[in-house]
Structure 1
Amino acid sequence: MAEWLYEEGIGEARAALVQNGRILEAQIERDDKRARAGSVVGGRLVQTLIVRKRGIARLDSGERVLIEPIPPKVAEGGAVRVEILREAIGEAGLEETRDKLAKGRIALPGVQAGQGPSLLQRLRESDLPIVPCPAHEADHLEAAGWSELLAEAMTGEVGAEDAALRIFPTPAMTLIDIDGSLPPAQLGPKGAKLAAQAIRRLGITGSIGIDLPTMNNKDERLVAAAQIDKYLAQPFERTAVNGYGFVQIIRKRERPSLIELLRGDPVRAASMAALRAAERHHGAGAVTLTVAPAVARDLKAHPDWAKLLERRRGGTVEIIGDDALAIGGHHVH
């Protein structure tokens, strides 16, 4: 039976749906104070982009949210209550990563203000078993392939020589290219299966395009499409596989995928990985954490993380920046 492994880490919470020792789905929730999907929070309409259609609200927290539509009675500068439909997402641009604003709408009258469900609350709603994974116990997440999963998210490379995926997030959609040594009639279904599993495992949502190999006939394309339906959990919509092997999938978009989360801020991803390693290092006591200089600056800019690590370990924590280490590398001793 599938079960959720849940880890309340420092700076982020982590969860993986595991069955037969393999990760089927994974989620990370950062403790960054941004409004979660499902939240209803106060703010002001600070800019009208298209009259009655689109504008930007600044929440009381300072976060900016894209609002669609704008009710006729809401004027620029007026107080509003905003329902968050999609969280902010790191978006790869031509020059640098930037944030795609959270998306919301003006809440209906009478809707109560409050935060959207946390990762743990969402797991509880799944009615599947939840297994807590504290740092003083065996690393069940790692045993299920957590590091490999994060590597897939960072590189966008999944699979082996016979069938492999390359995943490219773009502002318009996530593109998945399938290549391999198998003949097209075999590569199409296997690639479709790998893509469906990766979409679920990495939490890829929104518009997704899969470029399968060109298959000779309709029956082969139907077999490939059936693999998507079998291995990608509902709800989603998809097109048929066309004669060029392309299929488009639409999944409801509320949160960033693991790819967007990790690539959107590689320094923060490295900070989280280093803290996780330090928390689990030999159980308890003082620890020295050596990381790349940019990661050291990030960790030192958030002293509450180190204080929590010290409380959990029962010893002091020293953070050292080392120019010889690349972002993502760390030493714990």
Structure 2
Amino acid sequence: MTDAPAGPHWLYEEGIGESRAALVRSGRILEAQIEPDDARARAGGVHGGRLIRTLIQRKRGIARLDSGELVLIEPIPPKVAEGAAVRVEILREAISEPGMEEEREKLAKGRIALPGVQGGPGPSLYQRIVATGLPIVACPAHEADRLEAAGWSELIAEATTGEVGREDAALRIFPTPAMTLIDVDGSLPPAQLGPKGAKLAAQAIRRMGIAGSIGIDLPTMNNKDERLVAAAQIDKYLPLPFERTAVNGFGFVQIIRKRERPSLIELLRGDPVRAAAMAALRAAERFEGGQGAAGAMTLTVSPAVARAIRAQPDWLKLLERRRGGAVTLAADETMQTGSHHAH
């Protein structure tokens, strides 16, 4: 195993069912992304399709891509009528929308592509991290788990629960259809909790890829100088581009970041069973300390996760090929969705 670069670098893992990347500095994750291996259109892609419904004349409609995926289109050019063939540029990928009695999916958002724009899929996760110009370290399963050493499981737990920090300063993160709300609480005095909570929030927003409209509820601070110090922490730890308001007298600040794809929170909470299946397959691939030991193994998961894995037979085939041995999938009624056991 080669040594990792001393400066900021990407860790990239081409997992089973999804790819993972984490920007790491000084051994800790600064930001992370997960890209499921599915057929959904990626941001930046241009796809053929057909306008199937007009919602608001010349302003909004729905197109069906050739893949079958539905995309919300804004605006609709005057000469494009229902039923017309169109080329759609994807601006934002489909996102699971929390906060309802039942989870529902917010359609991908796009626009009619300009003439001459080349068609094709949007850039993959790997292509996006290459474009940053930073070094990339591959993380195959037969080597030591660099992602885990940088705090991958901790990050996944934070995104799943929405809880970040400790007793002195902690965050609770609530995704809603309108915005992501971050509540800051802790035992520190407000003058100290405000800046520390703002720093934690900025770091969590970056780590989890939270975008769109974000509201941070800091403690009420006594004077403007304290509020300015808290705001400065956001500017220091959250990279541009973003826009924000000032911290108001009640400690509330709003941030706007360009939204192109789901955050880790939306991915993991949008389909908990799939997320659990990905975690189980990752653990099975690295079973026996990541030494790549060949031979038969059994992966035990909850019944719901077992069904999800069996519905994608290529996942188990790839796991067996990478391990070099047969894999038996077992379902245990007593196990919770997020639990798994390899032996």
TM-score w.r.t. length of structure 1: 0.99
**Which of 311, 316, 329 in structure 2 is aligned with 1:301?**
311
Could you tell me how far 1:92 is from its partner in structure 2? Answer: 1.0
Matched, 1:85 2:96: no
Q: Distance in 1 between matches of 2:318 and 2:83?
A: 40
| Equivalent position of 1:135 in the other structure | 141
2:162 maps to 1:152: no
Deviations 1:20-76 (A, max 9, x none): 111000000000110000000011111110011000001111110000000111111
RMSD: 0.6
1:245 to 251, 265, 272: 251
Instruction: Please give the secondary structure, in 1, of the residue aligned with 2:130.
Output: helix
Residue segments in structure 2 that go unaligned for 5+ positions in a row: 1-6
2:325 paired residue among 299, 302, 315: 315
Give the counterpart letter for 1:321 in structure 2. Answer: A
1:158-190 Cα deviation digits (max 9, x unpaired): 000000000000000000000000000000000
Asked whether 1:9 is paired with 2:15, we answer: yes
CA distance in 2, matches of 1:78, 1:322: 51
Aligned amino acid, residue 128 of structure 1: L
Distance 2:270 2:72 in 1: 19
Equivalences for residues 142-181 of structure 1 within 5 A: 142-181=148-187
Q: TM-score when scaled to structure 2?
A: 0.96
1:49 pairs with one of 37, 55, 58:
55
* Deviation, structure 1 residue 78: 1.0
Aligned partner of 1:119 in structure 2 is 125
Structure 1 counterpart of 2:4 = none
Per-residue CA deviation, residues 229-262 of structure 1 (Å, 9 max, x unaligned), is: 0000111000000000000000000000000000
1:125-274 equivalences under 5 Å are 125-274=131-280
CA deviation after TM superposition for structure 1 residue 112, in Å? 1.0
Question: Counterpart of 1:288 in 2: which secondary structure?
Answer: strand
- Equivalent residue letter for 1:327: T
Matched letter for residue 322 of structure 2: R
Distance in 1 (CA, whole Å) between partners of 2:342 and 2:103 is 29
Once the 2 structures are TM-superposed, how far is the Cα of residue 93 of structure 1 from its aligned partner? 3.5
Q: 2:12, 2:139 within 8 Å by CA — same for their partners in 1?
A: yes
Q: How much has 1:317 moved relative to structure 2? A: 1.5
For 2:116 and 2:133, locate their aligned partners in 1 and report how far apart those are by CA, in whole Å: 30
Q: Indicate conservation of the 8 Å contact 2:299/2:342, yes or no.
A: yes
**TM-superposed deviation, 1:287:** 1.8
Distance 2:227 2:297 in 1: 55
Q: Is the 8 A contact 2:99 2:175 kept in 1?
A: no
Report SS of the residue matched to 2:196.
helix
User: How far apart are residue 217 of structure 1 and its match?
Assistant: 0.4
Q: CA deviation at 1:94?
A: 2.3
Provide the C-alpha distance between the structure 1 equivalents of 2:69 and 2:330, rounded to a whole number of angstroms.
32
CA offset at residue 213 of structure 1?
Answer: 0.3
Alpha-carbon distance in structure 1 between the residues aligned to 2:41 and 2:100 = 27
Distance 1:257 1:299 in 2: 23
Cα distance in 2 for partners of 1:293, 1:52 equals: 48
Q: Which residue of 1 aligns with 2:82?
A: 76
Q: Distance in 2 between matches of 1:321 and 1:93?
A: 30
Q: Which residue of 1 aligns with 2:104?
A: 98
- Which amino acid is the alignment partner of residue 146 of structure 2? H
Task: State the partner residue of 2:342.
Answer: 332
Please tell me whether the aligned partners of residues 218 and 252 of structure 2 are also in contact (alpha carbons under 8 angstroms): yes
Runs of 4+ with >2 A deviation: none
